[in-house]
Structure 1
Amino acid sequence: MLQKFKKHIAVNFPFLEGKKLLIAISGGVDSVVLTHLFSELNFDISLAHCNFKLREKESDLDEEFVIKLSQKTSNQIFTIIFNTDKFAKKNKLSTQIAARDLRYKWFKELVETHNFDYVLTAHHADDNLETFLINLTRGSGLDGFTGIPSVNGNIVRPLLAFSREEIINFATENNIEWREDKSNASTKYTRNKIRHQILPVLKEINPSLLETFSNTIENLKESAQIIEDRIEEISKKIISKKNEILRFDIIKIQQLSNPKAYLYQLLKKYHFTEWNDIYNLLSSQSGKQIISETHRLLKDRDFLLLSKRDFSTSPKITFKIEKNTLEITEPLHLSFKRVNEKSIGNKQIIYVSKELLEFPLIVRKWENGDYFFPAGMQGKKKLSKYFKDEKLSLLEKEQTWLLCNAKNEIIWVIGKRQDNRFLVQDTSKEIVKVSII
């Protein structure tokens, strides 16, 4: 297996050569063999072990084992202890998902702190097939059937081409010790039930199951690539961007052969799950929206508007600007500069008579009842009416900031319209140029 593995790395993972690698090691046969293989090939590796405290004394013995292995192979090791059950309950996660989240967050910290190039995990061909079958039982789109990626960012899985049987045989032939997790024998968990009760039957039906499955995965990946190419082509025709908001043309979407399927492909990376509701959004009234954990999709006339959810600010939050401030960076980047005269302005710049300013200035979101005196117009206007006349979407309204004086009077609807009351006059002695940077 060593020579086969050496060739596999040279052909499929040549970018690992000369890099600083971190191997995720549990103490089980898979990760222990991965460690031995890379040690034999003289790669620059370090080990990372998580003690999840899920198996009482057994978890501590796993940690002791991998520490001794690191000493035996002369590799640096990092260890950490997690209270996994507490984390799972607090975040309402399953134990397995909680352990995964803790593990990968810690790996990311190690990479950043110690400048590792890649993190290696010991997933193998049987893991890949088990994941496929789990997704099959739960229901999945094509993405769930294209297998565990061998490379995902800086996470690399070099053993996916090898079976569990090959790995165990290599360990046995080379007198390599490992820790056996007794919970792996329990059929309490879905993966173990598939491993011990389903796969043996499938392998009996087809002794070449893993090879057949590998071919299937490659065929599915090729099909997925065709879909990806088509979605990229369609995206150029139906998606436009304005102020960090993606606009999906509803009429063009409805003209597609299967709008619901296209919507899934277009929006799946934004963590939406209610696909029937998203499809119904096409024919809903303006203002209806659907929220994912990271994004918001809003129906606005002839468009679906997609934006990131803003968790950092609320309409009630204000930012104060004291006298003689030259620049602020929150909630947006503004500069304040004294100038001798004004030049032709634009929506990114206004000129204000300094003597008209009352400090501290305030930057805030708009509220119901707000009004101002739009430059170039007569009289005052409610901000809600101004937004309507400008045909701003709900998302654009929510993302609009106001620059106000100490009395909360609007000086500038930032990036849109200045207030008449604060325009530079012929009698102005000092002029302040306010710019969006």
Structure 2
Amino acid sequence: MLEDFIQFVRKENLFQADQKILLAVSGGIDSVVMAKLFSLAKFNFGIAHVNFSLRGEESLADEVFVKKLAKTYKVNYHTICFDTKAFSEKEKLSTQMAARILRYDWFEEIRKKESYDYIATAHHQMDSAETVLINLSRGSGIAGFHGIPVKNGHIIRPMAFATQEQIFDFVVSYKLTWREDSSNTSTQYQRNFIRHEVMPKLLELNPHFVQNVAQSSTNVALIEQWMQAELNLWKEERCKNDESGNVFVKLFDTPLAVKEMVMRQQFLLAFHFNSDTMAHILDADDKQIGKIFESASHVLNIDRQQWVLSPKDQSEFKPILVQEEYETVDLGNQLLHIDFGENENGFELPTGAHIACLDADTLTFPLEIRKYQEGDWFCPLGMNQKKLISDFLTDKKVPLNLKKNVQLVLSKGSVVWVMGYRIDNRNKVTDKTEGLCILTLENKTKP
């Protein structure tokens, strides 16, 4: 399989041997195999893992597993924790679509920030065939018929050549371990329903169904490549971007020809607009100046002879990163002050729910600040065993509507302070403590 993998990368011109690739690794069998292949091929790569906070302690265990995997391969590791449920509810999206938008937007942030050339996902032949069926069931344009593209901008799928049988054989050969996502067995998700209920029936009809879909997808992809080239020319003529990520699209005051309509539709697909919203946008005319349309990631405003697309602020679903050199962090209604000091004789530790006095040597910066999520745990001060934060807050009789807004401070993924309540016992100040890190919450003065 290693030789097939290297040949596929070369044949499809996915990347050059000296380029730097960011691997999206969930901890599941496919992404674990991809990471092993990259390591064996001696490619330059880093690993990115997303904790979607959907499966409690199981999600946390996945994160720990992938972190150890990155350490084994001695590569850079990037991770983030999203409040996926809150995002999906706010944007009225399915959980799977919400997770997709959040992860790909974050992967692109890391790619740019850390100078990776491409982002690699571990989709294989079966995934692509399932995607074709999903797209057909929803109603799809030409893009839906080619399944998952092998290369799409900065996204590459170096496992697209592989069958499930090859992946399982490879795992056995190298005695690899992986994490099994319990949600994969639930048919409440559309992809799982197709995987467990529909696909076996199609394979009974034709054992080569997956390979045939892969070949058909390749043919359709050639047509889409031509369309993409046309779209790129259209964007060069029409689109301008500013430093804030806004996109301005010039619209000519001429009757819409078929080609123009197709170009506009293809352009909107990249900004996560659904088919109904796209239809309304395409039907809107220049008399509807100021009309607003929204996708999960962008807002489109119809202006004078142009569209103006602005990215939505998704910072509320991401952790706040606190660097060691920071003195104050703005948390909205509160300020968090960060001070450092020495644990000298006679020093009296500050106390109070709004203050956390921590052993600085137990912390690794940047610290993370995010909302509490189901499955989070810590060792409350005075205890040497872990306790679910949900149970801790229940014991503290925190009302349900306040519990969901409780914020945590984390160091390397471990909770060090349930803000406003208690620090973790592992980060407390002891007689051996030399350096102190003091975090102080201050309510903003109302004007």
TM-score bucket of the superposed structures, by smaller chain:
0.5 to 0.7
**Contact preservation (8 Å) 1:47, 1:78:** yes
**Contact preservation (8 Å) 1:53, 1:82:** yes
| Partner secondary structure for residue 45 of structure 1 | strand
Report the Cα distance in structure 2 between the residues aligned to 1:18 and 1:213, rounded to whole angstroms: 33
Say how many residue pairs are matched. Answer: 294
| Partner secondary structure for residue 42 of structure 2 | coil
Question: 1:305-320, aligned counterparts within 5 Å?
Answer: 305-308=305-308
Q: CA deviation at 1:279?
A: 7.3
Q: Deviations over 1:316-375 (max 9, x none)?
A: xxxxxxxxxxxxxxxxxxxxxxxxxxxxxxxxxxxxxxxxxxxxxxxxxxxxxxxxxxxx
Q: Which moved more, 1:208-217 or 1:25-34?
A: 208-217
Q: Which moved more, 1:289-298 or 1:161-170?
A: 289-298
| Aligned twin of 2:86 | 86
**Contact preservation (8 Å) 1:54, 1:84:** yes
| Aligned twin of 1:247 | 252
Write the letter of the residue equivalent to 1:121.
T
| Aligned twin of 1:112 | 112
Question: 1:147-186, aligned counterparts within 5 Å?
Answer: 147-186=147-186
| Aligned twin of 2:75 | 75
Q: Deviations over 1:177-199 (max 9, x none)?
A: 11111110111100000001111
Write the letter of the residue equivalent to 1:79.
T
**Contact preservation (8 Å) 2:14, 2:151:** no
| 2:261 corresponds to 1:263 | yes
Report the Cα distance in structure 2 between the residues aligned to 1:209 and 1:180, rounded to whole angstroms: 26
Query: Structure 1 residues 158 and 227 mapped into 2: Cα distance closer, same or farther (>3 Å)?
Result: closer
Question: 1:133-152, aligned counterparts within 5 Å?
Answer: 133-152=133-152
Write the letter of the residue equivalent to 1:187.
T
Query: Structure 1 residues 82 and 226 mapped into 2: Cα distance closer, same or farther (>3 Å)?
Result: closer
| TM-score calculated relative to the size of structure 2 | 0.58
Query: Structure 1 residues 248 and 164 mapped into 2: Cα distance closer, same or farther (>3 Å)?
Result: farther
Query: Structure 1 residues 275 and 108 mapped into 2: Cα distance closer, same or farther (>3 Å)?
Result: closer
Report the Cα distance in structure 2 between the residues aligned to 1:311 and 1:101, rounded to whole angstroms: 12
Write the letter of the residue equivalent to 2:208.
S
**Contact preservation (8 Å) 2:2, 2:37:** yes
**Contact preservation (8 Å) 2:125, 2:211:** no
Write the letter of the residue equivalent to 1:55.
R
| Partner secondary structure for residue 13 of structure 1 | coil
Report the Cα distance in structure 2 between the residues aligned to 1:279 and 1:97, rounded to whole angstroms: 23
Report the Cα distance in structure 2 between the residues aligned to 1:93 and 1:105, rounded to whole angstroms: 16
| Partner secondary structure for residue 158 of structure 1 | coil
Which structure's CA Rg is the greater one? Answer: 1
Structure 2 gaps, min length 5: 241-247, 313-447
Query: Structure 1 residues 162 and 110 mapped into 2: Cα distance closer, same or farther (>3 Å)?
Result: same
| Partner secondary structure for residue 252 of structure 2 | strand
| Aligned twin of 1:217 | 217
User: Kindly, what percent of the aligned residue pairs are identical?
Assistant: 37
| Partner secondary structure for residue 53 of structure 1 | coil
Report the Cα distance in structure 1 between the residues aligned to 2:308 and 2:99, rounded to whole angstroms: 27
Write the letter of the residue equivalent to 2:21.
L
| TM-score calculated relative to the size of structure 1 | 0.59
Report the Cα distance in structure 2 between the residues aligned to 1:109 and 1:228, rounded to whole angstroms: 23
Query: Structure 1 residues 278 and 137 mapped into 2: Cα distance closer, same or farther (>3 Å)?
Result: same
Q: CA deviation at 1:248?
A: 4.2
**Contact preservation (8 Å) 2:186, 2:192:** yes
Report the Cα distance in structure 2 between the residues aligned to 1:167 and 1:311, rounded to whole angstroms: 38
| Partner secondary structure for residue 50 of structure 2 | strand
Q: CA deviation at 1:291?
A: 4.9
